[in-house]
Amino acid sequence: MERWGMFEAAVNGKKDGNPFLDYAITGTFASEHETVKVDGFYDGEGVYRVRFMPSYEGKYTYTIAGSAVEAPVMGEFEAVAPTAGNHGPVRVAGETLLAYADGTPHYSVGTTCYAWVNQSMDLQAQTLDTLSKSPFNKIRFCIFPKFYEFNRREPITYPFERGSGEGLDPALVEIQANRAYWPLEPVPEMDYGFDYTRPNVEHFRRFDLRIRQLMELGIEADIILMHPYDRWGMNEMSAAACDAYLKYMVARYGAFRNVWWSLANEYDIIPTKTAEDWERYGQLIAQNDPYHHLCSVHNCITYYDFSRPWVTHQSLQRTDFYKTTEYTDEFIEKYHKPAVWDEICYEGDISLGWGNITAQELVRRFWEAFLRGGHAGHGETYLSEDDILWWSHGGALKGESAPRIAFLKRILEQTPGRGLRKAEGIFDEVVGCAVDAPEDYRIHYLGICQPKYRMLILPEDGDYEVEIIDTWNMTITPAGVHRGATRIELPGNQYMAIRARRV
């Protein structure tokens, strides 16, 4: 086992009654550096699994016990050095920054594919192939199926076993699925007869596979646990069923190093949930996750109180159509936690305003977010004859923003030290500087402005290498070595930036 890998023990146990609720199983893992107790989970057919992520190198011993098994199971393994590409889980670093456990800075360059794991297996494979060639190191997606514009098909599996709804009329399902609903119109629920105390292991095994494949690609899996776009009654689960579902999720996925928890997508428009519910959910995740993965909750209209102790970072959706990531430094100053913009409108051409901005505007919003010390997420919603939109289904990318985001990511990774923060600039620019060397490394981003030259005021006590960055055409042009006040000639185009690095 490598450090930050996932050890899994599978043991046979009791299967009478309801094994998901009636029995418990835990694993205790000990080394000279740590002792960690984790919950296991029932995976069907009399099999219980216990998963563990070692945070240190060295010998570990373990004991698996509980009412699910007749006798404890014991063993040991060696945790060795991590292989290339394994930097450990992402953590909060320096209050408002993100870094992997080994100290490598993490710039969250995300994307959104809400329902990709509920599509056909061929489409899922295409999505993974696209991701393998993309700049994205985080993807947001739902566990529950989604019913919304362009999302009318039934999923390939459901997250819970069926009970009394086995006789549901397929014709009625088809009629309801094809009916046109306005985006915020309540969707009539249908009695599928789900037993919310019995997870459908076939559904979750597929998510096991996909999360592991994302991990192998170096992509963080930002798992959305609940959302409002429901026609199957999952938002009607009782408090006890919700708590059991969340504990099951932590037991099943907590040992993957690439997991983030998102309590909800657009929590504030789920009418069946209260503020007390969200607080209970957040505290339950924090108490049951021994690895303390990143955890937040995502808004539609009303931002959550990110000062809550279980919230590790701010998962943000813009609430103003025009001004979005320009608020990044204000949120950082208010909450003193990393600001991750998970929805800033999507590149596309659908009729809905959140899904028809240009690639140029999406890329501009990315630059604003990162130079102000935050992070940003991508999405794509181009119409197509097959109704396959990346934002929900995955598949192939059609837009122009992804290569420009890859270019930005390469520049971000050249930042010395732990990352960027906002620095002072004049009114028509945003300036980002290196957190650990603010006078030695700066990027001046000009956005929609198009000056033919810029007066750059550099320190007098050293020489600076100056470069002109065309963020849209993805070029970096040397502009000489300077100190003090200097005039930098520019091409007079939009989306330009100037980088100054101390020699």
Residue 2 falls within a domain, yes or no?
no
| pLDDT for 170 beyond 70 | no
Q: What is the pLDDT of residues 387-429, one digit of tens each?
A: 899 999 999 999 999 999 999 999 999 999 999 999 999 999 9
Do 94 and 164 belong together in one domain? yes
Provide the CA 120 distance to its chain's centre, in angstroms.
Answer: 22
- Quick one: three-class SS letters along 382-412? CCCCCCCCHHHHCCCCCCCHHHHHHHHHHHH
8 Å CB contact between 485 and 459: no
Neighbours of 10 (CB within 10 A): 13
Measure the N-to-C terminal CA separation of the chain; round to a whole number of Å.
43
pTM score, two decimals? 0.95
For residue 493, the SS3 value is coil
How many domains does one find in the chain? Answer: 3
The one-letter code for the residue type at 151 is N
Q: What is the pLDDT of residues 223-253, one digit of tens each?
A: 999 999 998 889 999 999 999 999 999 999 9
Do 61 and 176 belong together in one domain? no
Residue 389 falls within a domain, yes or no?
yes
Do 214 and 114 belong together in one domain? yes
Do 96 and 197 belong together in one domain? yes
Q: For residue 414, what is the enclosing H or E element?
A: none
Give the C-alpha distances (Å, rounded to integers) separating 300 from 96, 135, 306, 340, 356. Answer: 23, 26, 14, 15, 18
Residue in this structure with the two tokens 């794509």, named with its chain if needed: 380
Its domain, for residue 285, covers: 90-412
CATH number of the domain that residue 204 is part of: 3.20.20.80
CATH number of the domain that residue 482 is part of: 2.60.40
Do 264 and 182 belong together in one domain? yes
Which pLDDT belongs to residue 176? 65
Do 193 and 249 belong together in one domain? yes
Do 160 and 99 belong together in one domain? yes
Do 111 and 16 belong together in one domain? no
Q: What is the DSSP string of 105-120?
A: B---EEEE-TTGGGS-
Q: Which two tokens stand for residue 53?
A: 């992520």
Of 79, 100, 132, the one marking the end of a domain is 79
Provide, for the chain, the percentages of residues in helix, strand and coil under a 3-state DSSP scheme, each rounded to the nearest 5.
25, 30, 45
| pLDDT for 308 beyond 90 | yes
